[in-house]
Amino acid sequence: MSDFRQPGLPGRRRLEGVKDDDSRYEAVRSRDARFDGVFFFAVTTTGIYCRPSCPAVTPKRPNVRFFPTAAAAQGSGFRACRRCRPDAVPGSAEWNVRADVVGRAVRLIADGVVDREGVAGLAARLGYSTRQVQRQLTGELGAGPVALARAQRAHAARVLLQTTGLPVTEIAFAAGFASVRQFNDTVRAVYAGTPSALRAAAPSRRGRARGGTPSAGIPLRLAHRGPYRAGPVFDLLEREAVRGVEEVGGTPGARTYRRTLRLPHGTGIAAVGERTHTGSGAHAGGWLDARLHLTDPRDLTTAVQRLRRLFDLDADPYAVDERLGADARLAPLVAARPGLRSPGAADADELAVRALVGPEEAAELVRRYGKRLDAPCGSLTHLFPEPGVLAGAEPDGTLGALTAALADGTVRLGPGADRDAARDALAAVPGLDDRTIAAIRTRALGDPDVAPPGPDVPDDWRPWRSYALNHLRAAGELE
């Protein structure tokens, strides 16, 4: 079983408590897991970089350097610690909040855009020049888009090496590397070992697919920071499940969510367990067990990122609970449900359609227009129909207007979407009401600060109004 997430990135609200290197060092001395992914530290005498909660003996202050990202540490010649696996820390909540070009760029890189389209493709999606994107990312993260993507590829390679039986040469290209030589050089630089040695050092061989392909699925640990309230997330997924595309099985507390995925290079089936595993330490986070079945292993990083958005695994529950817990109305709700999340979407366009029509009509659309899987798995038989297909088949009414806008790019809801532009474009779709638009913004765009029309939602709840409303719903105070 392997941890998996994008290489850690900074969280501005957590950085408020570590404004200088001395305070960062104190966080390292206390092994405070709340700062994992907020920053990284490297030890000049060993050449290793770690997460703040690393259990190793704390190095002397003069020998420590600090970096905002794993990619920045790697770019300075440090290799990943084998004890704390800093490349697998939970993601930064900053990118859930920020809607500027850097936040959008990070989400696109995490989705694999640089691997598929290059830096020029990333810049084009953002509407900036490659030079501007490079300058802004380097200025804030200590690494440009190529270095950030390289760190992500290295981690994807480690997961595939240690959890599948794929040949090393196939893993090189599956992880996104342009050549086997580039793959070997990167693995040596990041992990101080050859790919074969990294595979041999896997903690456990259980669950590794045999026969050269990941047909048995890739087992994963989807890491999260702090407490995670899984029950309400699985309750929502069970209520909304669309036949043919999703299913939730098992009993409360031990359910498994399964769904089909349309991915850039093929298709996939994902399974995520409800049971939350907790790490050690007072402030440690934990993980959800997952398994991915992919027709093309190049889709590993993209598939994992989409699951992370669906389950809101990159949220910072400390920042959310601290803010909302200061409100008299919300304080008892936050105390009762620490770590409550705001679920997103595995497919933003699909979510927009489902928010409009509801699960029953969505299932009928799947039956009529969804693409059938080449190898159905139990009740999972189809992919949700693409907007272009729906726009051609159901051109009338609000559904036709919405799917046409999604298909031609008038409405953009992907991981790098401009949230303000998307809100305005959604408002221009004939017949789309404010409540549906709010649901799309919250779920498809992952906006943490959406207040739907109707309820009185105080500005004091910013920038976490989406989470505040989830607390009210969980307590039965809001439909």
pLDDT digits (tens, 9 = 90+) for 287-296: 999 999 999 9
Task: Tell me what pLDDT residue 467 has.
Answer: 96
What pLDDT shows up at residue 164?
Answer: 84
CB distance 228 to 22 below 8 Å: no
Cβ neighbours of residue 339 closer than 8 Å, sequence gap 6 or more: 226, 227, 228, 229, 317, 321
Q: Look at 63 and 280; give whichever has higher pLDDT.
A: 63
| Residue 208 scores a pLDDT above 90 | no
Per residue in 215-244, pLDDT tens?
578 999 898 988 999 999 999 999 999 999
Q: Could you give the residue ranges of the DSSP H alpha helices within 98-144?
A: 101-110, 113-126, 130-141
Residue 423, helix vs strand vs coil: helix
Task: Note the pLDDT tens digit of each residue in 400-431.
Answer: 999 999 999 999 998 889 999 999 999 999 99
Return the minimum-mean-pLDDT range out of 10-24, 111-125, 322-336.
10-24
**Whether pLDDT at 455 is above 70:** no
Confidence class of residue 204 from pLDDT cuts 50, 70 and 90? low
Cα dist. 201→159, 163, 204, 328 in Å?
A: 12, 11, 8, 51
pTM: 0.89
Confidence label for 210 from pLDDT (cuts 50, 70 and 90): very low
Q: Is the pLDDT of residue 134 over 50?
A: yes
Alpha-carbon distance of 59 to 44, in angstroms, equals 10
Average pLDDT, the chain: 89
CA-to-CA distance for 83 and 407, rounded, in angstroms?
A: 46
Q: Which of 260 and 4 is assigned the larger pLDDT?
A: 260
Question: Residue 373: enclosing H or E segment and its boundaries?
Answer: strand 371-377
Cβ burial 324-363 (10 Å sphere, 16+ → b, else e)? beeeeebeebbeebebbbbbbbbbbbbbbbbbbbeeeebb
Least confident of 244-248, 340-344, 458-462: 458-462
pLDDT at 5: 45
Statement: residue 212 has pLDDT above 70: no
- Please classify residue 52 by burial: count the beta carbons closer than 10 Å to its beta carbon, then call 0-12 exposed, 13-18 middle and 19+ buried: buried
> For position 20, what pLDDT does the model report?
87
> Residue 90's pLDDT is what?
65
Confidence band, pLDDT 50/70/90 cuts, at residue 99: confident
Which secondary-structure segment (H or E) carries 355? helix 348-369
239 contact partners, CB below 8 Å, separation of at least 6: 359
Predicted confidence at residue 243, as pLDDT, reads 98
Amino acid (one-letter) located at 292: L
The answer on pLDDT for 150 being more than 60 is: yes
| Angle, in degrees to the nearest 10, between helices 101-110 and 145-163 | 30
Q: How confident is the model at residue 89 (pLDDT cuts 50, 70, 90)?
A: confident
Domain boundaries, the chain: 348-448
User: If residue 43 lies in a helix (H) or strand (E), which one and from where to where?
Assistant: strand 40-43
Class (C level, CATH) for 348-448:
mainly alpha
Write phi, then psi, for 286 (nearest 5 degrees): -170, -155
- C-alpha 373/C-alpha 281 separation (Å) is 43
- How buried is 280 (Cβ within 10 angstroms: 0-12 exposed, 13-18 middle, 19+ buried)? exposed
What pLDDT score was predicted for residue 95? 58
Is 93 or 471 the better-scoring residue by pLDDT? 471
pLDDT of residue 47: 96
Please, which residues bridge with residue 293 across strands?
A: 269
Report the pLDDT value the prediction gives residue 16, as an integer from 0 to 100: 52
- 267-278 and 48-50 as β-strands: parallel, antiparallel, unpaired? unpaired
Cα-trace Rg, the chain: 22
